[in-house]
Amino acid sequence: MRRRRNALTLLVLAGVLALGTGSAVEAGASAAKAHSPTVGIGDEQPTMFANPAFTALHTTISRYVTPYDVATNHSHNDLPRLRAWLAAAARRHIRPLIAFYHSDRTPRKMPSVASYTANVKRFLKAFPQVRDLQPWNEANRGYVKESGNGSYASPSAGQSAAYYLALKRACSRCTVVGLDVLDSTDVPATTRYINAFKRDVGRRHQPTIWGLHNYSDTNRFHSKGTRAVLADTTGQVWLTETGGIVKLAPSFPFSLSRQSRATRYMFSLTGLSSRITRLYIFQWTGGKVAKERFDAGLTDVRGKPRPAYCVVYKHLRNKRSCPYKTASD
């Protein structure tokens, strides 16, 4: 009898290994249902909150990216937009997560810790209702091969550690995500950045929450980036920006059907670990023109739901059908 049990165990293990990484994640879709992280939408358009398709999702969280010096109103546009967005979110009882980013005035220059601290304190004084914060959006973006530096700077791991500690000191009552990273196709570059951050922030101040943008895994239908970040950290992991991409030139040509498949896979990735406790889908509003490089909207520019919206709706509401007629490729 013991030999029979051992033989059965070996057969089961062989079957699991035969699944492979991608199939194993798909097989974890039921686990993702059993473990359901809190799901919200990331988008900077306040009109999102008034869309009936948005309210039908019954979400309670949302994410917004804004310059770290937004409270100074240097650009004369960022601050009014943020106020309008926060007011619209409050009307729907949505809890905001605010991620800071580079200044519009000096996108190629990182602020000193003193300047960063002074500006986030202005923000906290202007918006005391905001309790969930991220020191810097996609902090490692300039250090991965896929994205490059672009037209703005990225903080070094040491600077990210300093900004995190400064924000924690400025708001002890806030929930602060320690580090927000992009997975990219260059997974080793991401983990090197995380390890350098952990060294610079010090053993006593290790974050309990980490942020990850796992677009690469979600849209390439694998899990290596998400697994690497989970293995390299402890505590909660929030997927602070992710989603099925409609278009990303030149890697992903426009395809609503591929976006739907990627959105389903996105949810299956949450089954990798119960440590994944929040998921923010980006974005709500699609691109305005066909020439735009990036588009991941769950709706088109007019607010009409796309097929991927129905994937989200059925997942969140545990429904078999979607009440909206959607566009096709």
User: Is 105 a domain residue?
Assistant: yes
CATH value at residue 57: 3.20.20.80
Question: Whole-angstrom Cα distance, residue 28 to residue 31?
Answer: 5
pLDDT at site 152: 76
User: Is 285 a domain residue?
Assistant: yes
Residue 198's domain comprises: 20-317
Q: pLDDT of 301-313, one tens digit each?
A: 999 999 999 999 9
User: Is 5 a domain residue?
Assistant: no
User: Is 96 a domain residue?
Assistant: yes
pLDDT at site 150: 60
Question: Whole-angstrom Cα distance, residue 164 to residue 180?
Answer: 10
pLDDT tier, 144 (very low <50, low <70, confident <90, very high otherwise): confident
Task: Supply the DSSP string of 42-63, one letter for each residue.
Answer: E-S-GGGGG-HHHHTT---EEE
User: Whole-model pTM?
Assistant: 0.88
Q: pLDDT of 226-268, one tens digit each?
A: 999 999 999 999 999 999 999 998 889 999 999 999 999 999 9
Number of neighbouring beta carbons within 10 Å of residue 47: 14
pLDDT at 46 over 90: yes
pLDDT at 80 over 60: yes
What number is the average pLDDT over the span 93-122?
A: 96
pLDDT at 224 over 90: yes
Query: Which two tokens mark 209?
Result: 């929450």
User: Is 244 a domain residue?
Assistant: yes
Smallest CA-to-CA distance from 63 within 82, 44, 88 is with 44
pLDDT at site 74: 80
Question: Whole-angstrom Cα distance, residue 216 to residue 244?
Answer: 10
User: Is 113 a domain residue?
Assistant: yes
What phi-psi label fits residue 70: left (phi over 0), alpha (psi between -120 and 50 degrees) or beta? alpha
User: Is 178 a domain residue?
Assistant: yes
pLDDT at site 184: 83
What number is the average pLDDT over the span 54-83?
A: 94
Q: Considering its fold, how many domains does the chain have in total?
A: 1
* Residues in CB range of 41: below 8 A, 6 or more apart: 48, 54, 57, 59, 62, 63, 280, 281, 282, 283, 284, 298
Contact 97, 38 (CB under 8 A): no
Contact 214, 175 (CB under 8 A): no
User: Is 247 a domain residue?
Assistant: yes
Q: pLDDT of 175-218, one tens digit each?
A: 999 999 999 888 999 999 999 999 999 999 999 999 999 999 99
